[in-house]
Amino acid sequence: MTNPQNRSADPAAREMLVLAEELGAKTVWDRHDDLKPLCGFGELGLCCDVCYMGPCRIDPFGERAQVGACGADAHLIVARNLARAVACGAAAHSDHAREVVEVFRGAAEAGSSSGYAISNPEKLMALASEWGVESANRSGRHVAADLAARMASQFGLQDGPLIPLARAPEEQRRRWEKMGIAPRGIDREIVELLHRTHHGVESDPVALLRAAMRAALADGWGGSMIATDVQDTLFGGPLAIRSRANLGVLEEKQVNILVHGHEPVLSEMLVAASREGEMLALARQAGAEGINIAGICCSANEILMRQGMPVAGNYLHQELALLTGAVDLMVVDVQCVMPSLPQVAACHHTRLVTTSSKAHIPGAEHIEFDSHHAKRTAREILARAVEAFQHRDPARVHIPRHSMDLVAGFTNENLPHYLGGRFRAGYRPLIDAIAAGRIRGVVAVVGCNTARICQDSLHLALVRRLLSQDVLVVQTGCSAIASAKAGLLRPEAAMEYAGPGLQEVCAAVGVPPVLHVGSCVDNSRILLICSALVAEGGIGADLSELPIAAAAPEAMSEKAVTIGLYAVASGVFTAFTPVPRVAGSRVVRQYLEHDVERETGGRFLFTNDIEEAAQGILAHLDGKRKALNLAPMMYQDGVRSNASGSFRALSTFVPPAGLASLGCGKAQERSQLRPPEE
Amino acid sequence: MSRIIASAAIRGGHACVRRAETMLAEALGRHNRNTAIGFPSTAYALPIILALTGKRVEKLGDLEEAVGAARSWLPAEPTEKLWLPYLGGALDAGAATLVAQEAIEALKPLHGIPLEFDYWLGPTTDGILREQGIKLVDGRMPGFAACVGALPDDETAEQLARDLQERNLLVFMGANCAGETMAAQLNRRGVQMNWETFLVPYGPDTSSIVHALGFACRAAFTFGGLKPGGLEETREILLYNQRRVFAFVLALGEVDDEKYATAAGAINFGFPVIADTDIPEILPSGICTYEHVVSNVAHRDMPARAVEVRGVKIHTVEIPIPVRHGPAFEGERVRREEVAIEFGGKYTRCFEYLASRPMDQVQDGLIRVVGPEIGDVPEGARLPLAIFVEVAGRKMQPEFESILERHIHSFLSEPMGVMHLGQRDTVWLRISKKARDAGFRIEHLGTVLLHKLRNDFPAIVDKVQVTLFTESAGVEELYPTAAAAYQSRDERMGALTDERVEIFYSCALCQSYAPNHVCIITPERLGLCGAYNWLDGKAAYEINPHGGNLPVRKGDSVDPVLGQWKGINDFIRNASNGAFERFSAYSMITDPMTSCGCFECIACILPGTGGIMIVDREYAGETPVGMTFSSLAEMTGGGQQTPGFIGIGTIYALSRKFISADGGLARLVWTTTRIKQKLGDRLRQRCEELGKPGFYEKIADETVCTELEPLIEYLATVEHPALEMGEMV
């Protein structure tokens, strides 16, 4: 077999890969190896299967066909393939949003009977006022029902603008208006984009990319943002919280249930049910000491952020976790769930349960989630897990002893409080730290794992490199889990990995140098943090002026492409690794890596070399700092630089002279009136 | 590392809140819930609680909610490992601490613990706040230093106090280190501590520091026009302090949990902490303008380092005299036993006279002492003195002589160890033994005048020479000239009426904190602060045409009775940023003048009497209108036109134009004895001019009554003319 060292940087994963071999189980890595060599045309984006004359493929060496049967050239084909990926990614996030809005509406209409309650009434009221929902003298339920209806209407909106779009800085909105890419309605942009990629519709690659940005924006500032808002309203806004990550969180003596997928509606219920006395009693009857719910992928992030539930691992851990033989049941919903899971689960007693009406896996048991009976479904699933636990063979259980402490739960809503407390809440300490050269900038490192890249290796390389250069890192998704497993989400990590400037700030605030802000729909939180930095002022009047950047070092899914594109459309420099299927078109690369910057203020850097990505990001941050005339970095290569030592604007106090010295207080006269005590 | 500070602050917060809860529970056990509680003579209840919670605590029972709020802000102490964010929590614990400490201070009297004793001054009244706090916002004082703890020895304590005084900084002192306090140290050194010397000892407990922060909150209410309310309002109050009040905390000696907690509270205001011990530092900025906590600073460097950390550079004027000088020393008295030499008072003739001269008749920089110097006479000698200042300048006008001369008082009060009282020929001047021992001589009085006049009035003063006569012959020879000058100046001022000038002066010196307020100063109505008259406005404009005083042409008369002119109304509209359309110079009912907050007195109508009352800001008692000065000030200030309420300078009451549109001085039915004393014979004389016999005696004061009903009865008994004039509105 391939050396596990090359497959994952994670010691637990390496251990499990050896075990997998022993068990004779095939994993994603094995299947990926079996497919090699991967299709070169596909990799370059040059294969077109849009119509049924084809598939047509363009010869990248210029020797054979340069256009498809219809006349589409390499640029159009690459752009069209990319656009379809974007549409699918946007659809995934937005359909997730639609699902949670439905649950939200159900909760509002049915009240307590739905099993869901609105646990964050402050957020509900804040959203109501933002969304123009009357809230005075109305019950939370009625407000929630109207809000849910308004949110739901965003999907079918025809003319826009999307309501959350107003949260973007004015300058960014002006750019979108000018380009004609301000999204009109979430579904509309996805549908239109798909239409435009149909055979014989949009034939201008750049026009198609702009349309793709429009759909991507409908995701970032629409679907994803709504999903985050609704989830925070229903299940509570996250607060900084401790937990643990990696396969070592599986409990030998407890019923282990893994939740995997994306939508927290069922996993929240499972967590709640697992804390019920009745369920615990059931588990104890079965000989278990308790019920342990841990997560994989973004489901993990959702219940980590709000409930502090342990994280079993990221995307590439989904099969490995099952191979431990310690998982009694894995429950999955949508997105990033490998169809291979039933085969892997079959190695042990592990049960696999699918729950989404949109996602069935042959070989898995399907218990369809119905928001009106969510609690019942949750209990039913727990009961199956307890039942499965009794079939667990302790002799075959192998739990890697790797697990790491972490602190997560940061959001655009709680960061201001952590930075300034109740009364001085705001981003000023962060902005000051950036302006004074303690922090170089803020970089979002997000995205997936992919079998093409040694698991976590690029996430960790990039994050550590950025930390050493005094860059504050914010993370979501599987990327955040990679850092969690490596200990980068511990506050102590500041002392171990951060440059001295960033260390000072982390020590002052008490935060880790890497802030975990949630799941992949929660990238919307990052957009809002950046917008808040613009609004508070001092380091740029627009997202594109801020010393910020984004990176997806191990991108795998179409959602990652969509996220990357909405970041670029929002003015953010975005390093994307590995290079997506754009290499076949000079025009597409030129536009996305260069020309788009003039239009949106952001651009992509496509590279397979993480050091090149790091260099690109650091150079970008320094460029933005220079453009804003911010102070030179306080520490260069860990040494206090003299250049910034003198950077301090002192307001000069000149005591008023002459008549002004009389002032208004007339203390002078008082001094006249008090003769000494004789 | 700052986690240590956060942990200590949060622990301190918990302990303070617990203490407040215990004291409150005990008090509630012994007293009624409705027992009045609060600090003396303030309209702001317990000001920190008011600022942070938006709630007025006036009764014992009210404290429960406030202390409960503080409790709810307290976070858990950060763990040793895998800690959660603590900066915000530590700041919240700091805020909770301040609330708890203010509750403790307010509860002390119920527990029989005095707030004011020995040299400890206790809470600050609104009167002092208005007088002193204004300096913080109008730019005469850069800020305050809250000194927490004590210094290693008395001498270092005095050194630090003097260094701070020299920078015009108000010095608040509180808390102790193992029983030792900075105030006790200064007291042993014989340093005078009171509001005039900028050295204010609040109390020996750490909780007493809340009075300094309460002062800051009230400055935001009084001068910033900020109102308490919700979170947003609190934030504005704190930001007001961060932007405008250059205050900081000096942590002197060991810093315990409660002091850390108090410091965290101060950081909410943007006030950084500078420590003389080796405590952890918090260098990144954001809540404060620069560092939050800087430690291990040598005492000698503390004032300079502190102002730098606070983000200020303080300019001081160098005067080559052997003693320290600055406004803070103005309030220091030289007591009889300290006198090296004395002039005037009731013992010898002592006067000051400033005259303008043609350029060629003044030898700039010439200082002569005609007569004996300080070393020539025995200690404690009393000599006559004539301070004769001759100035020349291309823009100097004879009208400005009196203005420059009036400044001699503050100039000669500023050197440490020199006491100056009075003006013109009522001067009383003492030089202390300490000053003499430091090398201060009579000649140095000239040095001070020379430097200050040239520095403070560079636009009108080009040359200065000073002659100091210390023997009878010279003094007596010059005196008739000076006396004639005093008289002719008075006559000239007396002849100056609103009708005889075409130009009034605006005064917007206070707009920095009351953005819509503007004073209109006429020859017969001085600024409401009482410090600025028409001539001052004229001179100020001459000195700085882009300053706070601008000439305003009256233009066509709109209403001669109300005192409205087109030019003035146009100006007011503009200068008030469109807030006000019209201004009446002679009415407190129709379009009255707005008030910034630093008025000397408030005039307000007394319903049912047909009259008005005038109350001064030092009067702490009740008034017939049912409000104290502080409560009245809340209504009157803030740059609003409030018909029936105006802020005035005291001597405006003597003007023939005093609310002449509303019936004039004859409306005055009640005032304070302090105002009566201050206006004295001049008020009697004005009363006689009204042609209403015995009018002066009919004006009631607080010795007659402080309530409306008895006042009305009294007015009827004495047949006060206002009763027949009818209601004003």
Q: Check residue A654 and give its pLDDT.
A: 79
Which whole number is the average pLDDT over B131-136?
A: 78
DSSP string, A635-675: EETTEE-HHHHT---PEEE----GGGGGTTT-HHHHHHH--
Q: Coil, helix or strand for A182?
A: coil
Shortest alpha-carbon distance between residue A488 and chain B (Å): 11
Cis peptide before A161 (omega within 30 of 0): yes
Express as a percent the part of chain B with pLDDT over 90: 68
Listed residue (A119, A100, A144, A97) closest to A374, CA to CA: A100
Q: Check residue B578 and give its pLDDT.
A: 84
Given this chain, do its domains A74-235 and A247-396 carry the same CATH topology? no
d(CA A448, CA A466): 19
Residue A600 has pLDDT above 90, yes or no: yes
Cβ separation A438–B547 shorter than 8 A: no
Residue A678 has pLDDT above 70, yes or no: no
d(CA B193, CA B121): 9
Q: Which stretches does DSSP call E strand in A151-254? A: 241-245
Q: Coil, helix or strand for B448?
A: helix
Q: Check residue A664 and give its pLDDT.
A: 59
Residue A457 has pLDDT above 60, yes or no: yes
| A444 sits in which H/E element | strand A441-445
**Is it true that domain A404-630 has CATH number 3.40.50.2030?**
yes
Per the CB < 8 A criterion, the answer to whether A567 and A561 are in contact is no
Within 8 A of A507 by CB-CB distance, chain B residues are 1-3
Instruction: Report residue B678 CA to chain centroid gap.
Output: 19
Which parts of A264-312 fold into alpha helices (H)? 264-274, 277-285, 297-307
pLDDT per position as a tens digit, B149-193: 999 999 999 999 999 999 989 999 999 999 999 999 999 999 999
pLDDT per position as a tens digit, A542-571: 999 999 999 999 999 999 999 999 999 999
Helix pair A264-274, A374-389: axis angle to 10 deg: 60
Of the listed ranges A32-36, A109-113, B1-5, B31-35, the least confidently predicted one is A109-113
SS3 sequence of A96-110: HHHHHHHHHHHHHHH
Q: Between the CA atoms of B378, B379, B382 and B384, what dihedral angle is there, to the nearest 10 degrees?
A: 70
A136 CB within 8 Å of a chain B CB: no
The band of B328, judged by pLDDT with boundaries at 50, 70 and 90, is: confident
What fold, for B327-491? Answer: 3.30.1650
pLDDT per position as a tens digit, B375-433: 999 999 999 999 999 999 988 888 889 888 988 988 998 999 999 988 888 899 999 99
How does the average pLDDT of chain B come out, rounded?
91
d(CA B398, CA B542): 13
What fold, for A74-235? Answer: Substrate Binding Domain Of Dnak; Chain:A; Domain 2 (1.20.1270)
d(CA B416, CA A52): 99
Token representation of residue A234: 């229903």
Residue A87's contacts (CB-CB under 8 Å, 6 or more residues apart) are A190, A193, A194, A197, A212, A215
Within 8 A of B83 by CB-CB distance, chain A residues are 407, 491, 510
A508 CB within 8 Å of a chain B CB: yes
Per the CB < 8 A criterion, the answer to whether A560 and A89 are in contact is yes
Q: Enumerate the domain spans of chain B.
A: 2-310, 327-491, 499-725
> What number is the ipTM of this complex?
0.94
Bridge partners for A73 per DSSP: A67
Q: Check residue B378 and give its pLDDT.
A: 95
Residue from the list A659, A664, A674 with its beta carbon closest to the beta carbon of B539: A659
d(CA B291, CA B308): 10
Shortest alpha-carbon distance between residue A183 and chain B (Å): 34
* Terminal C-alpha separation, chain A: 102
Cβ separation B540–A659 shorter than 8 A: yes
SS3 sequence of A554-580: CCCCHHHHHHHHHHHHCCCEEEECCCC
The band of B355, judged by pLDDT with boundaries at 50, 70 and 90, is: very high
Q: Strand A548-552 relative to strand A573-576: parallel, antiparallel, unpaired?
A: parallel
Within 8 A of A437 by CB-CB distance, chain B residues are none
Q: Check residue B641 and give its pLDDT.
A: 84
Shortest alpha-carbon distance between residue A510 and chain B (Å): 4
Which residue has better confidence, A114 or B110?
B110
The band of B512, judged by pLDDT with boundaries at 50, 70 and 90, is: low
Cβ separation B419–A429 shorter than 8 A: no
Within 8 A of B530 by CB-CB distance, chain A residues are 666, 669
Q: Which of B82, B170, B336 to mutate to test the interface with A (most CBs of A within 10 A)?
A: B82
Task: Using CA coordinates, name the residue in chain B closest to A420.
Answer: B88
The band of A670, judged by pLDDT with boundaries at 50, 70 and 90, is: low
| Phi/psi of residue A259, nearest 5 degrees | -105, 135
B461 CB within 8 Å of a chain A CB: no
d(CA A597, CA A585): 18
DSSP string, A309-338: --EEE-TTHHHHHHHTS---EEEE-SSS--
Per the CB < 8 A criterion, the answer to whether B132 and B211 are in contact is no
Q: Check residue A129 and give its pLDDT.
A: 96
Residue A658 has pLDDT above 80, yes or no: no
| Phi/psi of residue B480, nearest 5 degrees | -60, -40
Token representation of residue B636: 């009157």
Of the listed ranges A258-267, B263-272, B540-549, B609-618, the least confidently predicted one is B540-549
Residue B258's contacts (CB-CB under 8 Å, 6 or more residues apart) are B12, B15, B16, B97, B206
Which whole number is the average pLDDT over B218-226?
A: 85
Q: Strand A404-408 relative to strand B350-356: parallel, antiparallel, unpaired?
A: unpaired
Q: Check residue B658 and give its pLDDT.
A: 94
Give the CATH number of domain B2-310: 3.40.50.2030
pLDDT per position as a tens digit, B303-315: 999 999 998 888 8
Shortest alpha-carbon distance between residue A168 and chain B (Å): 23
d(CA A533, CA A168): 11
Burial A449-476 (b: 16+ CB within 10 A, else e): bbbebbbbbbbbbbbbbbbbbbbbbbbb
Q: Coil, helix or strand for B177?
A: strand
Look up residue A219 and give its DSSP letter. Answer: I
d(CA A146, CA A134): 9
Listed residue (A28, A2, A39, A4) closest to A457, CA to CA: A4
How does the average pLDDT of chain A come out, rounded?
94
Cβ separation B238–A423 shorter than 8 A: yes
Which whole number is the average pLDDT over B39-66?
A: 95
Per the CB < 8 A criterion, the answer to whether B77 and B7 are in contact is yes
pLDDT per position as a tens digit, A85-123: 999 999 999 999 999 999 999 999 876 666 888 999 999
| A85 sits in which H/E element | helix A74-110
Of the listed ranges A113-122, A501-510, A599-608, the least confidently predicted one is A113-122
Shortest alpha-carbon distance between residue A407 and chain B (Å): 7
Residue A642 has pLDDT above 70, yes or no: no
Cβ separation B530–A658 shorter than 8 A: no
d(CA B230, CA B401): 52
Within 8 A of A678 by CB-CB distance, chain B residues are 335-336
Q: Give the number of other Cβ atoms within 10 Å of residue B243's Cβ.
A: 12
pLDDT per position as a tens digit, A370-404: 888 999 999 999 999 999 999 999 999 999 999 99
B231 CB within 8 Å of a chain A CB: yes
Within 8 A of B325 by CB-CB distance, chain A residues are none
A500 CB within 8 Å of a chain B CB: no
Listed residue (B570, B358, B320) closest to B448, CA to CA: B320
Residue from the list A423, A505, A652 with its beta carbon closest to the beta carbon of B268: A423
* Terminal C-alpha separation, chain B: 66
d(CA A331, CA A365): 10
d(CA A371, CA B272): 53
Q: Check residue A404 and give its pLDDT.
A: 98
pLDDT per position as a tens digit, A237-288: 999 999 999 999 999 999 999 999 999 999 999 999 999 999 999 999 999 9
Within 8 A of B138 by CB-CB distance, chain A residues are 656, 663-665
Within 8 A of B327 by CB-CB distance, chain A residues are 655, 661
Cβ separation A428–B286 shorter than 8 A: yes
Task: Using CA coordinates, name the residue in chain B closest to A667.
Answer: B131
Per the CB < 8 A criterion, the answer to whether B429 and B384 are in contact is no
Q: How many CA atoms lie within 13 A of A245 on its CB side?
A: 33
Token representation of residue B660: 């002449």
Using CB atoms within 10 Å of the CB of residue B640, give its burial: 0 to 12 exposed, 13 to 18 middle, 19+ buried.
middle
Of the listed ranges A30-44, B273-287, B525-539, B598-612, the least confidently predicted one is B525-539
Token representation of residue B243: 């932007």
Per the CB < 8 A criterion, the answer to whether B420 and B429 are in contact is yes
d(CA B584, CA B558): 10
Classify domain A247-396 at the CATH class level. Answer: alpha beta
What fold, for B499-725? Answer: 3.40.1470
Q: Coil, helix or strand for B612?
A: strand
Q: Check residue A674 and give its pLDDT.
A: 60
Cβ separation A428–B287 shorter than 8 A: yes
Per the CB < 8 A criterion, the answer to whether B415 and B440 are in contact is yes
d(CA A237, CA A228): 9
Compute the count of residue pairs across chains A and B with CB atoms less than 8 Å apart: 237
Q: Check residue B424 and give its pLDDT.
A: 86
Residue B16's contacts (CB-CB under 8 Å, 6 or more residues apart) are B96, B97, B100, B101, B104, B207, B258, B261
B64 CB within 8 Å of a chain A CB: no
Token representation of residue A550: 């984004």
Per the CB < 8 A criterion, the answer to whether B51 and A422 are in contact is no
Q: Strand B519-521 relative to strand B428-432: parallel, antiparallel, unpaired?
A: unpaired
Cβ separation A676–B334 shorter than 8 A: yes
Q: Check residue A331 and give its pLDDT.
A: 98
d(CA B128, CA B137): 14
Residue whose tokens read 């001597």: B651
Residue from the list B235, B286, B413 with its beta carbon closest to the beta carbon of A429: B286
CA angle B44, B45, B46 (to 5 degrees): 105
Q: Could you give the C-alpha distances from A217 to A163, A223, A530, B347, in angstroms and in order? A: 12, 9, 15, 88
